Structure 1
Amino acid sequence: MYSREVVDKALHLHSQGHSDRAVANACGVSLWTVRHWRYGRRRGADVEARRRDRTSCCPKCSSGHLAPEAYAYLLGLYLGDGYIGRIRNGVDYLAILCADAWPELMSECAQALAQVFPVKVYRVQRQGSTEVKAASKHWRCVFPQHGPGRKHTRRIILEPWQREIVDAHPEKFVRGLMHSDGWRGVNRVRQRTPRGWKYYEYPRYDFVNASRDIVNLMTDALDLLGVPWTERVQRRPPHQDRITVSVARRDAVARLDEFVGAKG
């Protein structure tokens, strides 16, 4: 019989991508014990307790509170590259699509999922990308922006409790949005002078999305942080327009570098 702390540590390590053997060695238990915990075949009462723990985290089904910083980051990822799908019997899965070029981003995403809900996080390989996923009956409660169709075809409005979290942790929210639909790179400019062409370059952040509501959430968070930005719209008839939010001033880029930086 092991304590709840040992079980939670094992499940947390597994959610970070550690193998069963590595988790067993770290927790001082057998390999088979770890596998029993992972597949939910430990004591029945303990499994039920885990289910109650998940419900207690849901702001709609109980009076629980989500881990605010992890949720703000996960909300940004969801609005950019996330979706919710139905498994069976009212159980949904939340999936965040991550490019294979950014393994550290996948790990941070998995960690945020595990912090928001005490659930098993797993990865599904796709062509050139990986879906970081977790199942729960409460994902639609936690992300009420879910609905039919693509996000840019419907209204995206935060609930009051979501707005409180975003306003309290705008850095994490901006980080999530940038990690999903953002980019940090170098802008190269050519300028004609009396002595000929002059070339120079400077770092910048771009956030690109087709949803006006999601773009407004990004710019509201930047305003809250005091980060200046500019916007341009790329008309793409008959397709959906693309809206780009750029942060290019040296002090503004330096501010974002403090909590966003390049994707890892």
Structure 2
Amino acid sequence: MYANCNRIKDSLRVFNQLPKRDAISWNSIIAGCVQNSMFDEGLIFFRQMLMGKIKPVPVSFSSTIPACAHLTTLHLGKQLHGYIIRGGFEDNVFVASSLVDMYAKCGNIRIARWIFDKMEQHDMVSWTAMIMGYALHGHAPDAFSSFEQMEGEAVKPNYVSFMAVLTACSHAGLVDKAWKYFNSMTKTYDIAPGIEHYAAVADVLGRAGRLEEAYQFISSMHIEPTGSVWLTLLAACRVHKNVELAEKVAEKIFTVDPENMGAYVLCSNVYSAAKRWKDAVKDKKRNV
């Protein structure tokens, strides 16, 4: 309960006071740690559970494998995969989906796809893991075809799967596809875009040099833009040497995030590229 409420310290305190720990308590504390980004601690508890002669169940692996994915510890993930095969858990859809996600995040797309293809049924987690893996590692066409195949199998895309396919558009610099998926998200699936979706579209517009369009897009967001979204555009202004727009964007950033050091550095670089040395030095001093 405490772990699900993000009160992981209370959860740990209760766990440590237990006179006897069964499989339920071990799996709960492991899942709680991983869900609260305490990945190393989750792996330590998993090892302690094994040392305590508590036999893992499918949920043990579906909770532990994401820790390996986030830490990109492929060697440990492979050890867990071996344990899963020996225990006969590889047919569990949640365990298999976690393995797909782990291998994809660690960059081993071939193994991720092999596990994915062996699955009898694919859930949203496995589809999204595969699409994001393709997106992050330069396989945009595979990401798009997987997304369309997912739709064809009547699996409804969610918030995260749209984040994955927009990431593919961003990395590949495909503006028209980014607009297509962004509009589909809101009009076809009635999913309200979040900061990550806006940032991805702003990024692809910036990479394409469509800076004014990106500026108008961010300005018209239905939620308040964060400094990180504006920072995406500021980075594009530096690449395309647009000093005037960079100054406007920097103002927006410092209004919502006055301590954003990355923005000061980028501004200094923009001025340096334009040979406006005094402004560059002034920004560097503000950054100190």
**TM-score, length of structure 2 as denominator length:** 0.33
Structure with more relative contact order (C-alpha pairs < 8 Å, separation 6 or more)? 1
Larger radius of gyration: 2
The structure richer in strand per residue is 1
**TM-score, length of structure 1 as denominator length:** 0.35
